Amino acid sequence: MIELRDQDIGTRDLEQGMRASPAMGFVTIATIAMVLLAVFNPAGLENGIRRLPPGALTSGLVAAASGWRQSMERLGPAKLFDDIRRMARNIAP
């Protein structure tokens, strides 16, 4: 029997009749992750945008992210994320 490390990644799956996944799968996953970040952790999104190189586009994005963060805090999803993070920190040793 051939050991897994001797095979290319995904060889066993392809031999079992599975199709190789297209690269669009990554785009879909990345988009979903960004939407979840924007809704539940808008402060993290804003901080990430603030780290971009300075410029007119960055200034506009920072202003939009700041407004978005305020909206999510007012509507509640950001508070939910902060509450869950706080509870997780209290549980962790």
Can you give the pLDDT at residue 60? Answer: 94
Domain range for residue 69?
4-91
- What does the angle CA 73 – CA 32 – CA 29 come to, to the nearest 5 degrees? 150
Domain total for the chain? 1
Q: What is the pLDDT of residues 6-36, one digit of tens each?
A: 556 666 656 666 666 676 678 889 999 989 9
pTM greater than 0.85 (yes/no): no
Can you give the pLDDT at residue 28? Answer: 87
- Rg (C-alpha) for the chain, rounded Å, is 20
